[in-house]
Amino acid sequence: MIPPRPTVPPLAAFTLPPRRVEALPGGARATLIEAGTLPVALIRLSIRTGSADVPADSIWLDRFIHDYLREGTQQRDALEFASALAAIGGRLEVDADEHTTTLGVDVLAEHAPAAVALLTELARGPRFPEEPAERLLTDLRRTLDLAKGQPGWLSHATFRRALYGDQPYGRVIPEPSRFDSFTAQRAAEFWAATTGTRRTHLLLAGRFDAEGVLEAARTGLDGWHAGEAAPGLAVQAHSERTIHLVDRPGAEQSTMQIGIPVIDPTHPDYVALEVTNSLLGGAFSSRITMNIREDKGYTYSPRSSVSTRPGDAYWVETADVTTNVTGPSLHEIFGEIDRLRGEAPSEEELAGVRNYVAGSFVMRQSSPSALLDHLEFLDLHGLDVSYSESYLARVQAVTPEDVRRLAVEQLRPEAMTIALVGDRAQIEEQIAPYGPIKA
Amino acid sequence: MTASTSPFALQVPVVRERLANGLRVVLSPDRSAPVVCVAVYYHVGMRLEPQGRTGFAHLFEHLMFQGSPSMEKMELVRLVQQNGGTLNGSTRYDYTNYFEVMPSNALELALWMEADRMRGPVITTAELDNQRDVVKNEIRVNVLNRPYGSFPWIDMQERVYSNWHNSHNGYGDMEDLDAASLEDVQAFFDTYYSPANAVLIVVGDLEPEHALGLARKYFEDIPAAPAPPPADIGEPRQEEERRFSRTDPLASRPALAVSYHLPERGTPEFYAMGLLHQLLAAGDDSLLHQELVQHRGYVGEVDASLNFLGHMHNAQTPLLWTTVVVHDDDVTADQIVDAMEGVIAPLRETPVDAESLERARTKARASLLRTASDSNYPRFGLTDLLGAFELFEGDASRVNDIDARFAAVTPELVMATAREYLRPTNRNVLMLEAGAAS
């Protein structure tokens, strides 16, 4: 027989890994965190420009530019730049969202200063040669075609459109005929107008020579234009109980997003909302997942999350369910939301969820890349280190009544937007009871 | 060691022990953060599932979360998460793993849970039926309800391998999943889930003597059982090029996959092939990216791998080196195959230059470090490498030799490896035709 189950001693007091913050030329900043034991440095040059800065008639101009960033710098052509990075163990990753474009590279620890030099060279002087423009546009059209075949992307785009309309966060699907207006010159002008030292934050985590890195950053950024400060953006999200249906004849599953605007990370209740989300649908052992996966078998990977932008956020449950149980899945999901709104969770259930959220935070603070994600999150929402320092205490302070109250205030089923990609002929009748259908 | 091994290569402490019942224990301390990964690797994956029961190894993995002698359905998941941890399991060609990443105060609990799981699943028909539905939905979301879902991993292996262990669809046919019974579950457990067919790996914030003591406490009295019978997973040498095509009704653009059989794991040629992969297809500086993307503009990106379900270090051979591209109608598969051959042929004729080879080594070194520091689950990346080397090469500490194995590859060996393994007659071309209007 196995010995009895051991008890778990309390989590030791957790200390955040120290962050070293330094000023760089022109108002740029650097944040350095030494972490881990493997000899790798994770480096991100985070620049405050993103899809929200693109004109309404030029959706994906930002993606066109990201592809263009692989075509070299004023000092090196595409192959020379890629080879220089490869020789130190790196490859360029361009990652972007509505407000941030990140030039990232992971390199062997010994080469961190050289990598910083290459990233700053790229940020201040992409080459934007004329010659590959047509090829990049062909690639962009293909990328769009491939995206449109993915039900998950379609349901996301439909949900965004419903929530934000023609405001920047709602502009997910481009009109390919507009790609013809994308040129090398437009790419260069947009990049010059929306970047600069004032919008730049260098982030490092892992193992590296900090002095060498800072020296390379100072040299690399010295003399680059400061640029305009990033403009603010006020967005009005709108949600009503409507099913936005995209017909996908023959689909074996219905791909859904169900959600509603909620408080953003600067709100005092935001951490309690994260705990509420984990209990309801965010964790594997959460209520919705236990119900529609582990009890009913309707789906493989249901999940809820809180998606955030500055001053804006929404809660969303995402699931791919077998076509013939599309209606029953909606029934169960709304049933779980209603149950939480009607009755506070037990202290026992909530204590487990608090520990899960707290432990997840500790683990993210132990991973170099998750550490950098956290720094970018703080930046985006204008939060400082006190957010991280007080996080665990705020998680542990969440009460059952807080959870019920947040579910009542924030997760209002009567105003939830539903985006559904599925076989209309098979699901229309099933879903009709859950809201007016708009195709 | 030759001059090009680096002090910045992967070098980790490894403590190994075998318990009385045959269970191997591998420990690697990393005290830099209060996190620990506990994993058990069983030496059975998709390749060894029974004929007529495709997809069973994966279904079985799901069932191992459904209940055990001391835990009800989902109790394990809840216990992990209530203690701040996260968990997963996965089924690969040659192994099935189960792991928890926990704050290190929960190390002993995690060991208890995995020891309990090793004592066997306790499940009902209702739980089997439930997970059958979940697995079918996993197949729908990852394969059936999306374009390119089985391309190329299932499509290619079904066509190029002659040995059933390698060729069958490891995600499973729906009829085979429907046929799976509780008797199958017990038989599979009895055959493959013995301590002697498993490795326990613990990586992170631990003290080896203490962790070993806990491993003994919870695992050592699990009864020993005979090792499973050996299986022949070998493939014959391919002598002629093969071409295949299929139509994907959901795809809007044609795609092409080109596969070559790899050298045997652990041989000098295997490491030379790893460097050929770096030279040819890893990163924007690679020869195929330069040729197909930059020079000819045939495709937007080149995606290549040495293992459809991982990387060169975490599977046994046979494996395939595969390049995948999605292209437009105005470019033919022949044009792409010819352009690839134009880049590959010189590697068979001339030893690679020293600078290119050194860059390939550097990329391989960095790639290995990225694998080891995998971040979705802290400490899991290294855990997986240690598990693979213990299972497949009998010694987890060989992860520390990888850099030297790459360093020992000469330009002549690269050329010889290209001659034998990048022969046109060792090539398999799979064309996917787009069945959906764009």
Q: Is B2 touching A (CB cutoff 8 A)?
A: no
Which element (helix H / strand E) includes A330? Answer: helix A326-342
Which of chain B's residues have a Cβ under 8 Å away from the Cβ of A115? none
Residue B141 has pLDDT above 80, yes or no: yes
In tens, the pLDDT along B71-129 reads: 999 999 999 999 999 999 999 999 999 999 999 999 999 999 999 999 999 999 999 99
Q: Is the pLDDT of residue A195 over 50?
A: yes
Q: Determine, yes or no, domain membership for B233.
A: no
CB pairs under 8 A between A and B: 236
For B279, name the nearest residue in chain A, comparing CA atoms only.
A86
Question: What residues make up the domain containing B402?
Answer: 242-434
pLDDT in tens, B225-267: 998 988 999 999 999 999 999 999 999 999 999 999 999 999 9
Residues B302 and B399 in one domain: yes
Identify the pLDDT of residue B438: 55
Q: Could B145 and A252 be called an inter-chain contact, meaning their C-beta atoms sit closer than 8 Å?
A: yes
Residues B164 and B94 in one domain: yes
Q: For the segment A241-258, what is each residue's pLDDT rounded down to a tens digit?
A: 999 999 999 999 999 999
Name the band, by pLDDT with cuts 50, 70 and 90, for residue B8.
Answer: confident
* Per-residue pLDDT, B6: 73
- Look up the ipTM and state it: 0.95
Could you identify the residue written with the tokens 């690269």? Answer: B414
pLDDT, position B5: 58
Q: Given CB atoms, is A13 within the 8 Å cutoff of chain B?
A: no
Whether chain B has a CB inside 8 Å of the CB on A145: the answer is yes
Mean pLDDT, rounded, of chain B = 96
| A347 in B contact zone (CB under 8 Å) | no
Residue A137 tokens, joined: 């546009």
pLDDT of residue A286: 97
Greatest CA separation for chain B:
65
Which value, to the nearest 10 degrees, does the dihedral of the CA atoms of residues B403, B325, A301, A253 take?
A: -160
Residues of A in contact with B9 (CB under 8 A): 39
In Å, how far are A299, A432, B66 from B126, measured between CA atoms? 16, 31, 10
For B113-128, what is each residue's pLDDT tens digit? 999 999 999 999 999 9
**Residue A3, preceding bond cis, omega within 30 degrees?**
no
Band of residue B3 on the pLDDT scale cut at 50, 70, 90: very low
pLDDT value of residue B437: 66
| B261, B385: one domain | yes
Nearest CA in chain B to A364: B378
Asked if residues A99 and A109 have their Cβ atoms less than 8 Å apart, the reply is: no
Same domain, B208 and B305: no
Burial of A424 (0-12, 13-18, 19+ CB in 10 A): middle
Report the C-alpha gap between B277 and B266 in whole angstroms: 16
* Contacts for A432 with CB less than 8 Å, ≥ 6 apart: none
Tell me the residues of chain B between 276 and 335 that have a Cβ less than 8 Å away from chain A: 282-285, 289-290, 294, 297, 299-300, 326-328
Residue whose entry in the numeric block shows the structure tokens 């080109």 = B258
Same domain for B154 and B187? yes
Q: What is the average pLDDT across B324-334?
A: 97
Q: Which residue of B375, B403, B406 is the best one to mutate when testing the A interface, meaning the one whose CB has the most A CBs within 10 A?
A: B375
Q: Which of B393, B371, B395, B392 is nearest to B383 (CA)?
A: B371
For B276, counting Cβ atoms within 10 Å of its Cβ (0-12 exposed, 13-18 middle, 19+ buried), the class is: buried
**Positive/negative CA dihedral, B6, B12, B17, B21:** negative
Partner residue facing B30 (CB), from A37, A145, A362: A37
In chain B, residues with a C-beta closer than 8 Å to the C-beta of A109 are 8
Tally of structural domains, chain B: 2
- All domains of chain A, ordered by start, with CATH? 20-221 (3.30.830.10), 242-438 (3.30.830.10)
Could you report the per-residue pLDDT of B394-408, keeping only the tens digit for each?
Answer: 999 999 999 999 999
Which residues of chain A are within 8 Å of residue B369 when distances are taken between CB atoms?
38-40, 89, 108
Residue B4 domain flag: no
A87: left (phi over 0), alpha (psi -120 to 50) or beta: alpha
| B105/B285 Cα distance (integer angstroms) | 45
Q: Write out the two tokens for B249.
A: 């009704």
pLDDT of residue B352: 98
* Bridge partner list, A322: A253
DSSP one-letter code for B195: G
pLDDT tier at B376, thresholds 50, 70, 90 = confident
Domain contains B1: no
| A79/B294 touch (CB, cutoff 8 Å), yes or no | yes
Q: Are residues B120 and B40 in the same domain?
A: yes
* B278 lies in some domain: yes
The whole-model pTM stands at 0.97
Q: Tell me if the bond preceding B318 is cis, omega within 30° of 0.
A: yes
**Mean pLDDT value of segment A272-285:** 97
Q: Tell me if the bond preceding A433 is cis, omega within 30° of 0.
A: no
pLDDT in tens, B405-436: 999 999 999 999 999 999 999 999 999 999 98
What's the whole-number mean pLDDT along residues A321-340?
98
Residues in chain B within 8 Å Cβ distance of A320: 137, 140-141, 145
Shortest distance between the Cα of A437 and any Cα of chain B, in A, equals 23
pLDDT at A157 over 70: yes
pLDDT in tens, A332-382: 999 999 999 999 999 999 999 999 999 999 999 989 999 999 999 999 999
Residue A270 in tokens: 């935001």
Short-list A166, A225, A142, A233, CA closest to A191: A225
Residue B1's pLDDT is 37
Between CA B98 and CA B80 the distance in angstroms is 12
- Cβ <8 Å between B326 and A295: no
Residue B57 has pLDDT above 60, yes or no: yes
Taking contacts as CB-CB distances below 8 angstroms, the residues of chain A near B70 are: 2, 5
Whether B51 contacts chain A with CB within 8 A: no
Statement to judge: residues B262 and B144 lie in one domain: no
Dump the DSSP string for B172-188: --HHHHHH--HHHHHHH
CB-CB under 8 Å, B147 with A362 = no
Amino acid at A349: E
CB atoms B32 and A87 under 8 Å: no
Q: Is residue B190 part of a domain?
A: yes
**What is the Cα–Cα distance from B216 to A101, expressed in whole angstroms?**
50
Distance CA A369, CA A392 (A): 20
A71, A363, A392, A395: which to substitute to probe chain B, counting the most B Cβ within 10 Å?
A363
Nearest CA in chain B to A255: B141
Inter-chain residue contact B81 with A362, CB threshold 8 Å: no
Distance CA B401, CA B341 (A): 32
**pLDDT above 80 (res B340):** yes
Whether the predicted pLDDT of B140 surpasses 70: yes
Same domain, B202 and B257: no
The secondary structure element, H or E, covering residue B167 is helix B164-167
Q: Which SS3 state, helix, strand or coil, does residue B344 take? A: helix
HEC string of B8-67 equals: CCCCCCCEEEECCCCCEEEEEECCCCCEEEEEEEECCCHHHCCCCCCCHHHHHHHHCCCC
User: Do B417 and B295 belong together in one domain?
Assistant: yes
Residues 378-397 of chain B with CB under 8 A from chain A are 378, 382
Chain A interface includes B26 (CB < 8 A) = no
Query: Is B179 found in the same domain as B45?
Result: yes
Q: Tell me, yes or no, whether B205 and B257 share the same domain.
A: no
Backbone region of residue A206 per phi and psi (left: phi > 0; alpha: psi in -120 to 50; beta: other values): left
For residue B243, give the 3-state DSSP assignment: strand
Q: What's the CATH number where B337 sits? A: 3.30.830.10
Q: Quick one: B193 and B265 in the same domain? A: no
> Which among B134, B358, B438 has CB closest to A297?
B134
Please, which residues have CB within 8 angstroms of residue A179's CB and are 6 or more apart in sequence?
Answer: A60, A64, A137, A140, A141
B369, A38: Cβ pair inside 8 Å?
yes
Closest CA to B316 of B37, B41, B25: B41
Half-sphere exposure at residue A300, Cβ-oriented, CA atoms within 13 angstroms: 17
Least confident range of A67-81, A227-241, A255-269, B363-377: B363-377
Instruction: For residues B7-24, give the mean pLDDT.
Output: 95
pLDDT at B2: 43
Interface test with B, best of A1, A5, A365 (most B CBs within 10 A): A5
Q: For helices A400-410 and A270-277, what crossing angle results, to 10°?
A: 90
With beta carbons under 8 A apart, name residues in chain B contacting A110. Answer: 8
